[in-house]
Amino acid sequence: MTQRRVVITGAGVISPVGNTLDKFWESLKEGRSGTKRLTYFDTTDYSSKVAGMVENFNAEDYFSPKEVKRTDRFTHFALAAGKLALANSGIDLEKVDRDRFGVLIGSGVGGMTTIEDQHLVYLEKGPKRISPFFVPMLIINMAAGVVAMNFGLKGPNAAVSTACATGSHAIGDAYRIIERDEADLMLAGGSEACLTPVGFAGFCAMRALTTSRNDQPERASRPFDRTRDGFVMGEGAGIVLLEELEHARARGASILGEIVGYGMSADAYHITAPSPDGDGAARSMRAALRSARVSPDVVDYINAHGTSTHLNDKLETEAVKTVFGEHARKLCISSTKSHMGHLLGAAGGVEAVATLLSIKNGVVPPTINYEEPDPECDLDYVPNLAREMKVDYAMSNSFGFGGTNATLIFKKFE
């Protein structure tokens, strides 16, 4: 049987650096930071005080006021990004078979805002005052469910929750669904909104967040830099429309790129730390290359997981060297987390969009805040300035707590 090819025909983002594709891409190209002093609550007693916040976002632009009250912020982001992806694709929903159109959107944490708000209600007013929408608002699959309901999409519907690899796993799994001829179109990606008092405190308690640049928030996320000391926590959503190639051609769709490879692996090592020498990351990248049926030397660019933590950046660098050998020195590698922080379960979706725009526009976004080279991170991280170059194949990495890894490979469509 001929393998079904899958292309990306639409994308939408809600992010700390922009809520439209144009603004998002312009911010990345220009090296703008979207990390700021966290203002959602009083951070006096918190070790970290910076975050990548979504600004100028009004949920009522996408939901009715009643729906806003009955859904969590992570679902608001997912629906907004899904609507933007559909608009970007130019698709006419009246002319497609919605039984063959699915949704696969995940979240690392889900309705954290709802959990904290309703816990306060419980403490102050008792169990009888808990909202009847409490459980539907917090569960992770509600983002995919609400998107499907809004557009009448009756194909495969599921959610992924694999920590910081969520968005990439969602896109990869959606790719496989279309390959297997179980759908013709899938909206897929990730959404996250857990910049909440308890959620933020939890990451502070783990000592995972940066604390050294609370007074310089725009410089706080610095992947691969020697002075990095933790990640900046962010929020947002990234959704893409995956479409079977002939289906896309039949409707004259504009194509951002083709997805050709998907790899997964487990570290099976530690609940938060990556496996030594980047073994899990290396196996994920190799699996993606096997899936794409390409050799390592065809890859031009890697959108790295690049969290700005000491171990992650060092071990991802080691993994790239292991997989790519001498070609590792020729690769362009950048971390767009330097611009917006780490969007957790949304990171893979947003970074997939960034990777596709790199291919489409022939520009690699920089790793900003790269000031002091680290001898343990000695590859080309495209420091501080975007680079114009032809990108035929690009890889996007996402690695999550629990030792779960995902790698996507996209190809320029010609």
pLDDT range class, residue 1, cuts 50, 70, 90? low
What integer pLDDT is reported at residue 414 of this predicted model? 85
296 DSSP 8-state letter: G
Decide if 291 contacts 262 (C-beta within 8 A): yes
Q: Is 305 a catalytic residue?
A: yes
Annotated catalytic residue 342: yes
| ∠ CA 177-290-165, rounded to 5° | 60
Mean pLDDT of the chain: 97
Share of the chain above pLDDT 90, in %: 98
Closest-CA residue to 215 (of 50, 414, 384, 45): 50
Same fold? 7-250, 262-411: yes
Nearest-CA neighbor of 375 among 317, 325, 307? 317
204, 305, 332, 377: which one is catalytic? 305
Quick check: 349 and 160 in contact, CB under 8 A? Answer: no
In this prediction, residue 3 carries a pLDDT of 84
Interatomic CA distance for residues 171 and 167, integer angstroms:
6
- Retrieve residue 57's tokens: 């976002």
Domain coordinates in residue numbering, the chain: 7-250, 262-411
Contacts of 53 (CB under 8 A, 6+ apart): 16, 34, 36, 38, 39, 40, 195, 234, 235
Q: What is the pLDDT of residue 126?
A: 98
Q: Has residue 204 got a pLDDT over 60?
A: yes
Angle at CA of residue 272, ends 398 and 292, nearest 5°: 25
Cα 365–62–182 angle (5° rounding)?
Answer: 75
Q: Say what the pLDDT of residue 2 is.
A: 73
94-108 residues labelled b (16+ CB within 10 A) or e (exposed): eebeeebbbbbbbbb
* Torsional sign, CA 116, 13, 92, 168: negative
Query: Which 3 state secondary structure label does DSSP give 99?
Result: helix
Q: Both tokens of residue 413?
A: 């469509």
pLDDT: is 276 or 341 the higher one?
Answer: 341
Q: Are strands 332-334 and 404-411 parallel, antiparallel or unpaired?
A: unpaired
How much is the average pLDDT of 331-342? 98
Contact yes or no for 190/166 (Cβ under 8 A):
yes
Q: So what's the pLDDT on residue 188?
A: 99
Q: How confident is the model at residue 140 (pLDDT cuts 50, 70, 90)?
A: very high
Q: Which CATH number fits domain 262-411: 3.60.21.10, 3.40.47.10, 3.40.50.450, 3.30.40.230?
A: 3.40.47.10
For β-strands 393-400 and 387-388, DSSP reports them as unpaired
CB 274 within 8 Å of CB 305: no
Q: What are the structure tokens assigned to 350, written together?
A: 């947003």
Q: Hey, what amino acid is at 205? A: A
Closest CA to 342 of 50, 123, 40, 130: 50
Distances (CA, A) of 378 to 239, 298, 321, 326, 368: 32, 21, 10, 13, 16
The DSSP-derived string for 137-178 is HH-TTHHHHHHHHHHT--S-EE----GGGHHHHHHHHHHHHH
Q: What's the average model confidence in pLDDT over 109-138?
A: 97
How far is Cα 135 from Cα 119, in angstroms, rounded to an integer?
A: 12
- Cα–Cα distance, 314 to 322 (Å, whole number): 13
- pLDDT, one tens digit per residue, over 8-19 is 999 999 999 999
Q: Give the active site residue among 76, 332, 342, 377.
A: 342
The arithmetic mean of pLDDT across residues 376-389, rounded, is: 98
Spot the catalytic one: 76, 164, 247, 339.
164
Residue recorded with tokens 């080279």? 373
173: closest CA among 414, 406, 413?
406
Strands 363-364 and 387-388: antiparallel
Residue 164 a catalytic site member: yes
Give the separation between CA 42 and CA 56, rounded to whole angstroms. Answer: 20
Domain 7-250, what fold?
Peroxisomal Thiolase; Chain A, domain 1 (3.40.47)
CA 299/CA 389 separation, integer angstroms: 13
Instruction: Taking the CA atoms of 375, 229, 340 and 162 in sequence, report the sign of the dihedral they define.
Output: positive
